[in-house]
Amino acid sequence: MSFKRTNLYDWHLKNGATIVPFAGWELPIQYKTGPIVEHKAVRTDAGLFDIDHMGQIIVSGDEATAFLNGLVTADLTKLDMGNSTYSLMCLPSGGVIDDLFIYRLAKGWMVVVNASNLEKDYAWLKKHGEGKNVSIEDQSEETYMIAFQGPKAIGVLDSLTDGRTGKIARFSSAEETLFSVDLLIGRTGYTGEDGVELFYPASQAEKVWQGIIDQGKTVGVDVLPIGLAARDSLRFEPGFPLYGHELNEEKTPLEGRLKWACALDTDFIGKDAILKQLEEELPSKIVTFELTDKGVPREEYRVLNPDGEDIGYVATGLYAPWVDKYCGNAYVKPEYAKIGTEILIQIRKKTKKAVVIKRPLYKPSYR
């Protein structure tokens, strides 16, 4: 299998990155500093993420708003120009096709999708757009995407924009010029910290990336590049789901505790199945657990009740550096979802004790 590479691939190699395959791409999982240092740097200072593997699809045309509103769980009619929202795209069964960030821009709706789902999402949109006055364009190749996250990230960008970045509201965006490159700054991110995601021409990938690192030095902020390992633990602690782990086509938003992301007073594909599930007992529910025995939980490990009966599986398992716990998320039968419930994690041939704990482990700083 041939893997794609971002335009920063050579930069990552030169700067000590360990490269691994991920969602069809070769991406840095960590740098010489290691994922724990990277994780804590984002919590205390600032970190830079190459997330160009993610896709950007532009939906425009006279019927674009109504069309897209019928496919996603959020009510896009409530978004002002420049604003964005987290949303889901579902199958008629209620299973999740993908989770998305959607921006309302002058050129149309920008739908930011997961790398592993780009082709599937694009095909789904094209299929449902047939016969409608909409244009659906995959602009992933020409658009570069990076994230700059952490309590000192906005200050670095404010020093370049005369304080304008800090005035962008959370989940809003603004057009700006950095290092002579025109870009879109979204006050969004997936780490639990304040920060931004930047969209700009792919040909200028390194110019903006290196420019931010250099500007950090100028204002006394050590901006670290952050790999996939720390990105995973950073999104886990504040309770943000990852597609292919907490989200998939077999699980509904209700099972994943994402009812808040569903505008059930609008009509979208999957709504009927979700409403039906509201009236019934859920088949499973996501919980966060902490190991009380020594061990490392991993994805797909089985979850047992104290009697040794199978009650679910681990969706994400890891060491969470900021809270210093070996923990994870698991799908379990609803009767085992109550905080304080004791469960067992099947780690190879041994069972390890764990307990269901309150979510999230880390309250997002911007709240």
pLDDT digits (tens, 9 = 90+) for 88-106: 999 999 999 999 999 999 9
In this structure, the chain runs to a length of 367
Q: Are residues 46 and 78 in the same domain?
A: no
Residue 147, classed as helix, strand or coil, is: strand
Residues facing 357 on adjacent strands: 288
Residue 80 lies in a domain: yes
Percent with pLDDT over 90 in the chain: 98
pLDDT tier for residue 205 given thresholds of 50, 70 and 90: very high
Q: Is 153 in the same domain as 13?
A: yes
pLDDT band at 27 (very low <50, low <70, confident <90, very high): very high
CATH code at position 11: 3.30.1360.120
Question: Per-residue pLDDT for 70 more than 80?
Answer: yes
Which pLDDT does position 44 carry in this prediction?
98
pLDDT level of residue 313 (50, 70, 90 thresholds): very high
Instruction: Examine the domain organization and report whether 316 and 331 are in the same domain.
Output: yes
Cβ pair 277, 252 in contact under 8 A: yes
Residues 114 and 166 grouped into a single domain: no
Residues 101 and 178 in one domain: no
Q: What is the mean pLDDT of the chain?
A: 98
Q: What is the pLDDT of residue 366?
A: 83
Please tell me whether residues 47 and 171 are part of one structural domain: yes
Q: Is the pLDDT of residue 153 over 80?
A: yes
Per-residue confidence (pLDDT) for residue 49, from 0 to 100? 98
Average pLDDT in the 98-125 region? 98
Peptide bond between residue 321 and the one before it cis (omega within 30 degrees of 0): no
Q: What is the pLDDT of residue 1?
A: 76
What tens digit of pLDDT does each residue of 231-257 get? 999 999 999 999 999 999 999 999 999
> Mean of the pLDDT values across residues 146-156?
98
What share of the chain has pLDDT > 70, as a percent? Answer: 100
Total domains, the chain: 3
Same domain, 170 and 224: yes
- Look up residue 162 and give its DSSP letter: T
Q: From residue 260, give the alpha-carbon distance in Å to each of 232, 240, 366.
A: 22, 13, 18
- What pLDDT score does 76 carry? 98
Query: Structural domain of residue 346, as residue ranges?
Result: 284-357
pLDDT beyond 90 at 223: yes
Q: Which of 236, 270, 301 is the last residue of a domain?
A: 236
pTM tops 0.95, yes or no: yes
* 196 — pLDDT class (breaks 50, 70, 90): very high
- Rounded distance between C-alpha atoms, residue 352 and residue 323, angstroms: 20
Task: Give the residue from 138, 170, 189 where a domain finishes.
Answer: 138
pLDDT for 295: 96
- Is the domain of 94 the same as that of 173? no
Give the chain's end-to-end CA distance (angstroms, integer).
Answer: 43
**Residue 172 reports pLDDT greater than 80:** yes
- Is residue 271 one of the residues assigned to a domain? no
- Asked if 48 contacts 146 with a C-beta cutoff of 8 angstroms, the reply is yes
Residues 75 and 32 in one domain: no
Residue 68 belongs to some domain of the structure: yes
Confidence check: pLDDT of 318 > 80: yes
Q: In CATH, what number is assigned to the domain containing residue 329?
A: 2.40.30.110
Summarize the confidence of residues 291-296 as an average pLDDT.
97
